[in-house]
Structure 1
Amino acid sequence: MKANIFSSIKLTLLCLVFFSGLYTLIVYGAATLAPGQGEGRTITYQNKKYYTNVGQHFTSEQYFWSRPSAVDYNAAGSGGSNKGPSNPGYLETVAARIDTFLKYNPGIERSEIPADLVTASGSGLDPHISEQAAKVQIKRIAHARGIAEDDVRKVVDNVLERPWFGKGHLNVLKANIALDQIK
């Protein structure tokens, strides 16, 4: 019995040293070698620093709207709403988002609204929207900015990230900065 207790204590101490010290140093070292040195991916625009891998809140008609966030885009408290698709409160929230989108995007049918524009992601911090979600907003943005729809479409084509597999997605922050740079 003493042998088992001492073996258990030794294993506990070994795990404590490894996971509290060595493993932490290894992860920290790997993070410092990554782009951004463990600080995340950032863009400096108009002397302000933005994180491109964290969703931002945009409500102006001149910009692409981000995916809704259950945590109000607060990276300190990542998480979803934990409400299921049959929850009456959740359904009211989604219906209100649909109504708001239709109000600011006349001519769009309810069936054309992509789910990612009216439902929050699991983290509440998704910085991307689908290609369809970007394209359904082009008319509103062009009208609000007084520019041609083709100019906005070019921004979508230039900023759209196309993975090897799956559908393309648009980083909303990068797209909105590109919109501001249109002369």
Structure 2
Amino acid sequence: MRRALAAIFLACSLGAAPASTKVSSADPDLAIAFFNAIPDICFQTARGHGPTAENAGALLLDPLPGIPPSLRANFGNIPTWFRLKSKPENIFVGVGDRMHACHLVLTDTTQAQEVQSKAKAILAATGFTMVKGPTLNDTMTVFAKQAPDGYMLVALQGPFNATDGGAGVQAVADVNLMPKAMFEAMLKPH
């Protein structure tokens, strides 16, 4: 199952941002802003109604002219990027590398562990089930919830770069909608 899930999600090697990056801390709204982007933006993207330059304002996003420099090394295959207006230095949304895939990236913060913990708790409280937990060598946790049109999958990765004082990519949420038959086939033992 791990290999099948890994094939679904973007494989990325994560590195540090430049030392000049301003790292935020003690932002009481960061975790809720990160989580709210999952249903407000990524669930819609997974259903084929993702952000575009034309509708970004309505989704409270600012379109970016290209890949943010701090994300280029890790997410260079994702062509279209937006900033979350409420947290423009910390939360980015990437789309366009795969049909209906949404990548939510948390950067430059010392609060990645808190954000991840709260996102996991809210997903569990809203009916998502953990189908894969982190291991010693892997920080990915995958949650799934059956929807009328398949299974909504949320893969949370991170926190990363703890030794870099919060600089750079700290956490990622990859969101996809998978057809029911495909998801259930992956769960069967092989």
TM-score, normalised on structure 1? 0.27
Q: Name which structure has the greater RCO, CA cutoff 8 Å, separation 6+.
A: 2
Radius of gyration: which is bigger? Answer: 1
Is the strand fraction higher in 1 or 2? 2
